[in-house]
Amino acid sequence: MPIVDSTRRNNIGLFFCGVVFIIAIVLYLWDLNSLPLVDYDEATYAQVSDHTLDSGDVLTLRRYGQPWFEKPPLYFWMTGATTSIFGRHEYAYRLPSVVMAIFALVFLWLIVQRLSGDALCASLATLVLLSWPFYYLAARQARLDIPVIAMILASLAALVYGWRKQQWLIAVVPAIALGFMLKSFIALLALPVLAVFSIVYGEWRWLRSRFLWYGVALALLIAVPWHAYQIAQWGSEFVSSYFGYHIFERATGGIGQSAGFQLFAYIRQLWHYGQPWVVMTLGAAIAYTTLRVLRKQPTDRDRLLEAAFLTTFGIVLLFGLARTRILTYLLPAFPFAAIVIASATAALMRAFRNRIVLLTLTVLFIAGFGYSAALGSGSDPRIMSSMYSEWVPTQKAIGEIVRDSVMPGSHFYVMEWPMHETLRYYSDTELEFVGFPPPDGFVLRAPWFLMLTNLHIPLFMDSNGTVREEYKHIEIRYASEGGQVFLFYGAEDITF
């Protein structure tokens, strides 16, 4: 006789679902203002949001008064609303991402519950995703990745519910269109996801539903007007930047030092930053394969795991073949990996209905969640460094000093420092760059601020640590703990 019958199991699952979502809301919203906005891409997005709102023209994104064509506008409209309500604080820029992350968990729960009929399995998948350290950190930043994942999952949820009740199909393509307005072409990743699930379940009748095509018309109304306006307003400038460089060249040519064949690099990064759930995904796949061989005949619940596994593998392969390696590109695979773990766990619980197996699986899940939550909260600096630089608080402090001290005509120079966006945002000043050593005749035009490191200090001090006579008028406005980063101020020109 089973330890837990299906009705009791479902009630446990629904109770667990409520607990999971309370945990999610608390974890995702807790102390959202604690860390500064980081380089690439939070500080940039915050600045675009502010400058666009200040311009009075919210249809064209702007930065320093110039059109900014890197991304679609929907997230910036959302942050414009939250900053107008709550003020221009870190949490206000991050709040839309957090809200969309919670919606993503809701859509994931609905997908798994619909396809497995098991509320406990759906809650386990949600628990895995919400606690995945890299996903958790990304959800608490002002980024576009999590919102577009929410729309991909919304599209899939509408599809699987539409298999039974066609009216849901009207939301399939509009969800993709909203994702397109968040992060352009990455939202089209929903199409192969829908295809994989349709192939595994053998469901294609939805393509003939009139509700799907009503949704297509609605999706066009969502996505086309803004793009048509930008093309009409800015012509080839918009097309070449928005479609050319930021979409085509990133996929085919790579950007920066990350360019090149990336599959094996991605696998290494997944192993490094994806614990403990990467190990559990592999273990779940092995356990499922063993059960599948023993059982021989697949069930509907097996199809869910198979579809999720194929989707996870396909996303990693797709971005591994692209020539730009950015770790956040792999985030869309995480919800489906969570389904693999939860489905295999549920299959083991059904196959071995005894207290020892149930207790073992429960302990593993609690341990995995606890370890994962600890990693996401910063217990492992390596995990935090994947999303936050240790120098971000220093950059914020320097930027705020410049902003609060700035006067008309002042200059903010940066000497050989690799991260610029956080400095730009908190100083609200464009940066000017100085090489080391500065070229002969280079002039720091007063009034000026200069950010530099301990490697550059000999330029201004002799071997005894004494300030050179010609630089006696320089003020040290900031020195980091340990004396590694400094901010100098000068009221007179300096010529090197």
What b/e string do you get for 53-83 counting C-beta neighbours within 10 Å, with b at 16 or more?
Answer: beeeeeebbbbeeebbbebbbbbbbbbbebb
Q: Is 329 helix (H, G, I), strand (E, B) or coil?
A: helix
**How many CB atoms neighbour CB 341 within 10 A?**
27
Q: What is the mean pLDDT of residues 103-114?
A: 95
pTM of the model: 0.89
The CA-atom distances, in angstroms, between 392 and each of 36, 90, 126, 397, 422 are: 7, 13, 31, 9, 7
pLDDT digits (tens, 9 = 90+) for 217-250: 999 999 999 999 999 999 999 998 888 766 666 6
What b/e string do you get for 162-173 counting C-beta neighbours within 10 Å, with b at 16 or more?
Answer: bbeebebbbbbb
**Residue-level pLDDT at 286:** 81
Alpha carbons 97 and 167: distance in angstroms, whole number: 28
Please tell me which residue, 399 or 380, carries the higher pLDDT value. 399
Q: How many helices (H) and strands (E) does the chain have?
A: 20, 9
**Residue-level pLDDT at 200:** 94
Q: Which strand (E) or helix (H) includes residue 488?
A: strand 485-490
The CA-atom distances, in angstroms, between 316 and each of 10, 266, 280 are: 33, 8, 17
Side-chain-facing half-sphere of 77: CA atoms under 13 Å: 12
What stretches of 132-262 show up as alpha helix (H) in DSSP? 133-139, 145-162, 172-183, 190-201, 210-234, 236-238, 250-252
**How many CB atoms neighbour CB 467 within 10 A?**
14
The amino acid that residue 21 corresponds to is: F
Q: What is the mean pLDDT of residues 21-37?
A: 88
Q: What is the mean pLDDT of residues 55-71?
A: 93
Q: What is the mean pLDDT of residues 353-360?
A: 72
Torsional sign, CA 178, 184, 187, 191:
positive
* CB neighbour class for 300 (10 Å; exposed up to 12, middle 13-18, buried from 19): exposed
**Residue-level pLDDT at 274:** 72
**Residue-level pLDDT at 227:** 96
Task: Please tell me the chain's helix, strand, coil percentages from 3-state DSSP, rounded to the nearest 5.
Answer: 65, 5, 25
What b/e string do you get for 137-154 counting C-beta neighbours within 10 Å, with b at 16 or more?
Answer: bbbbbbbbbbbbbbbbbb
Q: Return the HEC string of 270-292.
A: HHHHCCCHHHHHHHHHHHHHHHH
Please tell me which residue, 14 or 36, carries the higher pLDDT value. 36
Do 190 and 146 touch, CB atoms closer than 8 A?
A: no
The CA-atom distances, in angstroms, between 331 and each of 101, 141, 327, 335 are: 12, 13, 8, 8
Residue at token pair 């020109």 = 493
pLDDT-derived band of residue 192, with 50, 70 and 90 as boundaries?
very high
Query: Residues 6 or more apart from 294 whose CB is under 8 A from it?
Result: none
**How many CB atoms neighbour CB 228 within 10 A?**
10
User: Which of 170-184, 267-281, 346-360 is predicted most confidently?
Assistant: 170-184
The CA-atom distances, in angstroms, between 427 and each of 35, 175, 423, 453 are: 16, 37, 6, 18
Position 86 pLDDT exceeds 70: yes
**Residue-level pLDDT at 160:** 97
- The per-residue pLDDT of the chain, averaged, comes to 86
Alpha carbons 59 and 21: distance in angstroms, whole number: 35
**Residue-level pLDDT at 316:** 85
Alpha carbons 242 and 327: distance in angstroms, whole number: 22
* CB neighbour class for 477 (10 Å; exposed up to 12, middle 13-18, buried from 19): middle
Alpha carbons 460 and 456: distance in angstroms, whole number: 8
Percentage of the chain with pLDDT > 90?
49
pLDDT digits (tens, 9 = 90+) for 384-430: 666 778 889 999 999 999 999 877 788 999 999 989 999 999 998 88
